[in-house]
Amino acid sequence: MSDQILKLDPEKVWKNFYSLTQIPRPSGKEKEVADFVKKFGEKLGLYTYVDQVGNVIIRKPATKGMENRKGIILQGHLDMVPQKNSDTPHDFEKDPIDAVVCNDWVCANGTTLGADNGIGVAAILSVLESTDIIHGQVEALLTVDEETGMTGAFGLQSGSLTGDILLNLDSEDEGELYIGCAGGINANLKLSFKEELTGDNYSSFKLSITGLKGGHSGLDINLGRGNSNKLMFRFLKNILNVLEARLVSIDGGSLRNAIPREAFAVVVVPRQNASKFKDYVKQYEQIFKNELVKTEPDLKLEATPCELPGKMMDARSQNTLVNAIYACPNGVIRMSDGIPGLVETSNNLAIVRSNACETEVVCLLRSSVDSAKDDLAMAVSSVFELAGAKIELSGGYPGWKPNPDSEILTLMKDIYNSKYGNIPEVKAIHAGLECGLLGGVYPKWDMISFGPTIRYPHSPDEKVHIISVRKFWDYLVETLKNVPLK
């Protein structure tokens, strides 16, 4: 951990962010960080409450003379995406994040940084402990499990909060205001397979695809990056039957909302075809590099000899699995008609993992149009239904419909223009923000999302721009100072 981080401006925000990096907080494991935040509020003498799903709510009264302003809810999520490079020794349930200053950015050594949404949470804590910021009543809503299931947002009860305006601090481009987001649904698919004895006439290899950038399956899905699962099964589709090879196991991707960066498979090849197999590996590595020359310059496809396994998939199971993954829709499905440059509908073929004669496949489908999301879910289900898979669609959440006439939007556009000399861009986002769910519970809330500049979230390349944190903080403080009258 670099001591330089504690000296960055604004110090109070970076101090609180540092504290969060020291607390392991992968999705679903937020108890320690929730306890920290609860004690933080109680130490300040503020009303502090933990609801039935683990969300922490803290209420701070208005400063003198601001009692007649609309109440503000500052909202962020406590969990972070646990992604690391395969050669980085790190336990996200035990180890702190090793965050360092990298020129104009703060990044981490070989892991996700947790700026998504740690910087937003740090800013909220800084408002709560401040004695020099002018504001009406402020409520902090710090949710759990945003990254894997939005459990906190799903479980929020009406009546827990009294404010009128929600400021979601979970966007990742300074100078942009978000007023809408995509909805999503998980596709969980399971394919059983049969095994047969390998025999002594095979050579065994561990096949690996590494070096991909990965990234956020909503924000980065339109950047043309490689999906390790799709690349792996493209290779397998083209060589298994030709070489009479067999798939033994597969392990690709790790999180439903991260574009998979790595995939590993164990393959056995008849000894007389082992040399050809190695040639195909080199050939397809070059094919993939040529196709992804700009987006994935560090891509590697490698085969390493390994111990011969006793069993392998039978030919029928293998072909069924390979064809299903190869045919599964992935990436951008449709761009928005209404908002230029916005992805409307996409699928992330996130995880393909075999274990105990069953292969688990996990996809995250997103769309800002509910009917299009349902149609894509039907398409994915149809592919795997033909393969005989068990299909479960779960965790569906609604999108957030933009309101261009929002009062807080008009105010924040004017404040930004006054402070920085230009009007911020107003956008919708293809990622799934909690605003859609929260607005369902509190339909009268006026909502907006903004934040500092974060690059490569959900990947070990994640970093946050230092100067943008300063601007984000100043903008938040000025907005609180100018909240409309009730």
Identify whether 67 is part of a domain. Answer: yes
Q: Are residues 63 and 191 in the same domain?
A: no
Q: Are residues 30 and 137 in the same domain?
A: yes
Q: Are residues 158 and 25 in the same domain?
A: yes
Identify whether 111 is part of a domain. Answer: yes
**What is the count of structural domains for the chain?**
2
Residue 187: which pLDDT band, with cuts at 50, 70 and 90?
Answer: very high
Q: Are residues 337 and 431 in the same domain?
A: no
User: Most distant CA pair in the chain: distance in Å?
Assistant: 84
Mean pLDDT of 98-118: 96
pLDDT, tens digit, for every residue of 12-71? 999 999 999 999 999 999 999 999 999 999 999 999 999 999 999 999 999 999 999 999
pLDDT for the residue 247: 98
pTM of the predicted model as reported, rounded to 2 decimal places:
0.79
Q: pLDDT above 90 covers what percent of the chain?
A: 93
Q: Among 336, 366, 397, which residue terminates a domain?
A: 397
Q: Among 337, 372, 397, which residue terminates a domain?
A: 397
What is the domain range of residue 347?
Answer: 185-397
Q: Which residues have a catalytic role annotated? A: 79, 146
Q: Among 382, 397, 412, which residue terminates a domain?
A: 397
pLDDT for the residue 399: 87
Q: Are residues 231 and 303 in the same domain?
A: yes
Identify whether 33 is part of a domain. Answer: yes
Identify whether 256 is part of a domain. Answer: yes
Q: Are residues 124 and 199 in the same domain?
A: no
Q: Are residues 302 and 269 in the same domain?
A: yes
pLDDT for the residue 1: 52
Reduce the DSSP state of residue 286 to 3 states and report it: helix
Q: Are residues 259 and 240 in the same domain?
A: yes
pLDDT for the residue 148: 87
Q: Are residues 247 and 277 in the same domain?
A: yes
Identify whether 178 is part of a domain. Answer: yes
pLDDT for the residue 395: 87
Identify whether 486 is part of a domain. Answer: no
With CA atoms as reference, report the closest residue to 433 among 394, 402, 477.
Answer: 402
Residue 248 sits in a domain whose CATH number is 3.30.70.360
pLDDT, tens digit, for every residue of 121-151? 999 999 999 999 999 999 999 999 999 889 9
Buried b / exposed e over 141-174, threshold 16 CB at 10 Å, is: bbbbbbbbbbbbbbbbeeeebebbbbbbbbbbbb
pLDDT, mean over the chain:
96
Cα torsion angle, 426, 428, 431, 433, sign: positive
Mean pLDDT of 433-460: 94
Cis status, amide bond into 460, omega within 30 of 0: no
Which secondary-structure segment (H or E) carries 57?
A: strand 56-60
Res 340 pLDDT > 90: no
pLDDT for the residue 339: 82
The Cα–Cα gap between 218 and 116 comes to 13
Question: Who wins on pLDDT, 165 or 440?
Answer: 165
Q: What is the chain's Cα-based Rg? A: 24
Identify whether 52 is part of a domain. Answer: yes
pLDDT for the residue 86: 84
Res 472 pLDDT > 60: yes
Q: Are residues 35 and 46 in the same domain?
A: yes
Q: Are residues 267 and 316 in the same domain?
A: yes
Q: Which two tokens stand for residue 359?
A: 């292969």
Q: Are residues 202 and 58 in the same domain?
A: no
pLDDT, tens digit, for every residue of 325-337? 999 999 999 999 8
Res 401 pLDDT > 90: no
pLDDT, tens digit, for every residue of 194-215? 999 998 999 999 999 999 999 9
pLDDT for the residue 2: 59
Residue 133 sits in a domain whose CATH number is 3.40.630.10
Mean pLDDT of 264-284: 98
pLDDT for the residue 414: 98
pLDDT for the residue 4: 86
The Cα–Cα gap between 101 and 96 comes to 16
Identify whether 295 is part of a domain. Answer: yes
